[in-house]
Structure 1
Amino acid sequence: MTEDLTLVGDLVARERRSEQLALHAAELDRTYSYWDLCNTACKVGNVLSHVGIREGDRLVIDPAPVPEPILTFLGGALLGTVTEFDSDPPTDCDARGVVVPVEREAEFDLPGGSKLCAYGGDPERPDTTHWEQEVWSENPAFPPTFHDPADPVLRGSVDGEERTLSHADLLGTARDAVEALEMDAESKVAIRAPLSDPRTVAAGVLAPLLAGGAVAIPHGDDAMDATASVVGAEQTAPESRTLAVDSISI
């Protein structure tokens, strides 16, 4: 029962693994089953731990429209990090971990104690963690962790105000979105609003996973048969059922 899930990491628990579709990126035509999603999130959590990122640390992720940012957020949630989705993080960002597309690697000169991870290809610098290589080789089992539902897991701007949200905050909003869009295991929800808004993460990522459905990362209007969408202010969508982030309480 979804009511038993109290942490964001519960969405990628071992018992949720199945061949059901969980994530689809239209531009790449890349799909992840729940088996793939759960295994990869656990691997990511292990990689983050191995590079020195710990519970409560700040993790900044460039939210490019590909699966890696979402998978990194879920892996970070298992570990207990506090994620910020930022499409333009400072090049000298002091977050414990910064995760960006490989083409942005050269932009960053992080201070000591911060770790740069790059996805989408081979990084040039030896001190940059190669996301795909490390995740591919990692163990898909994640050791038990004990977080409180009130612990922070995501930070972002809501109507111009910086907010830090807990597991309970996000999952409560996700449950409201499941009800609002009548999501079930057959639902496929397109993310058409920025992940930098925590309401997008709750309604567009966590809600479909909570319902046992799928997250769709669109390419333009194409979201490969999405049944619903989460949209930003003044946005339109080809899907008939939409939920605007500015109508979501969190």
Structure 2
Amino acid sequence: MDATVIGDLVAPARRSDGLAYRVAGDPARSHTDDSVCTSTWKTANLLRLYGVHEGSEVGIVDAPKHPDFDPGTTPSRADGTPVPEVVFTFLGAALLGATVRFDPPRNCAVDALVGPAAWMDAYEPGAACTTIAYGGPPEDPDVVHFESEVWSETPIAPPETVEPDATVLTTGENSVDHRRLLQAAETFVDRQNLAAGDTVTPDAPLSEPGSVVGGILAPLVAGGTIQVGGEATVTIGGGGVDPESVRVGTQ
């Protein structure tokens, strides 16, 4: 597809009944292209409500909704992840022109932090940071509950205009803009011969840019499906494609 920024992957024209996200063995947790688009718009509007804008940095903790292990001991890919809230937050932040850092250090200063409610006390993101928790609900009233608030947000794409050279992903050491990330995703689609209806399982941490490119963006570019668990057309990590082999140009 002819996408110049990540927001093009969830544009109104992309709404359809095609399957964009599925959990193997649990069809009730699936999301169509229409659902991914509208959920991303609502997530973007929730983030904007709490101060996220162009140039903001959003930390996303890629974990289960109810983790049974401590932060910092996350396996390469926990069962049932990435949860939809993680995907929606990444895409929603991109719509606003914000920069995402997956699995930031617990003392990383970010403008908004999104993660499982059970872990929020373990992070010290700074006094000005808005903390948004999925799962839960959180016990701390100062922590925003993702599921409780996002459902009432407007299901309309935010009006922000984002330039292709805007930074969208950072590892703390390197940053990547929309153009380079999408170019890498299109290259991945071509090399793996991905087509509409194909499935891709991200089985490596999203803190690795190659995992974001191959596991999240490539299936959306191809009109395929992000698949959690099970047999897939392509797997990123876990004995499949090494995310470090996915070339991502940095700024």
Per the shorter chain, which TM-score range? 0.7 to 0.9
Q: Choose which of 234, 237, 247 in structure 2 pairs with 1:228.
A: 234
Task: Output one character per residue of 1:108-156: Cα deviation in whole Å (capped at 9) or x when no partner.
Answer: 3443211100001211111111101111111110232211101100012
Q: Is the 8 A contact 1:184 1:211 kept in 2?
A: yes
Which stretch shifts more, 119-128 or 206-215? 119-128
Q: Choose which of 105, 115, 134 in structure 2 pairs with 1:89.
A: 105
Q: Is the 8 A contact 2:209 2:243 kept in 1?
A: no
Q: Does 1:129 align with 2:129?
A: no
**Residues 28, 51 of structure 1: CA spacing in aligned structure 2 closer, same or farther, 3 A cutoff?**
farther
Q: Is the 8 A contact 2:42 2:156 kept in 1?
A: yes
Question: Aligned letter for 1:37?
Answer: V
Which stretch shifts more, 141-150 or 202-211? 141-150
Higher strand proportion (structure 1 or 2):
1
1:179 positional shift:
0.7
Unaligned 5+ runs, structure 2:
64-80
Q: Choose which of 162, 169, 172 in structure 2 pairs with 1:154.
A: 169
Question: Aligned letter for 1:82?
Answer: T
Task: Output one character per residue of 1:194-231: Cα deviation in whole Å (capped at 9) or x when no partner.
Answer: 1001111011110110010001122xxxx2x4221112
Aligned residue number for residue 98 of structure 1: 113
1:27 positional shift:
7.5
Question: Aligned letter for 2:186?
Answer: R
Q: Which runs of 4+ in 1 moved over 4 A?
A: none
Unaligned 5+ runs, structure 1:
237-241
Question: Aligned letter for 1:78?
Answer: L
Q: Is the 8 A contact 1:59 1:81 kept in 2?
A: yes
Aligned residue number for residue 66 of structure 2: none
Choose between structure 1 and 2 for higher RCO, CA contacts under 8 A separated by at least 6 residues.
2
- Cα RMSD over matched residues? 1.6
Q: Is the 8 A contact 2:132 2:144 kept in 1?
A: yes
% same residue? 37
Which stretch shifts more, 120-129 or 74-83? 120-129
Q: Is the 8 A contact 1:61 1:84 kept in 2?
A: yes
Question: Aligned letter for 2:36?
Answer: L
TM-score under structure 1 length normalisation = 0.87
User: In the aligned structure 2, how far is the partner of 1:247 from the partner of 1:17?
Assistant: 32
SS at match of 2:202: strand
Q: How does 1:106-125 map to 2 (within 5 A)?
A: 106-125=121-140
How many pairs align? Answer: 229
Q: Is the 8 A contact 1:25 1:67 kept in 2?
A: no
User: In the aligned structure 2, how far is the partner of 1:190 from the partner of 1:16?
Assistant: 21
Q: Is the 8 A contact 2:208 2:244 kept in 1?
A: no
Question: Aligned letter for 2:164?
Answer: P
Aligned residue number for residue 71 of structure 1: 88
SS at match of 2:205: coil
Aligned residue number for residue 46 of structure 1: 45
SS at match of 2:201: strand
Q: Is the 8 A contact 2:57 2:98 kept in 1?
A: yes
Aligned residue number for residue 216 of structure 1: 227
Aligned residue number for residue 74 of structure 2: none
User: In the aligned structure 2, how far is the partner of 1:94 from the partner of 1:246?
Assistant: 26
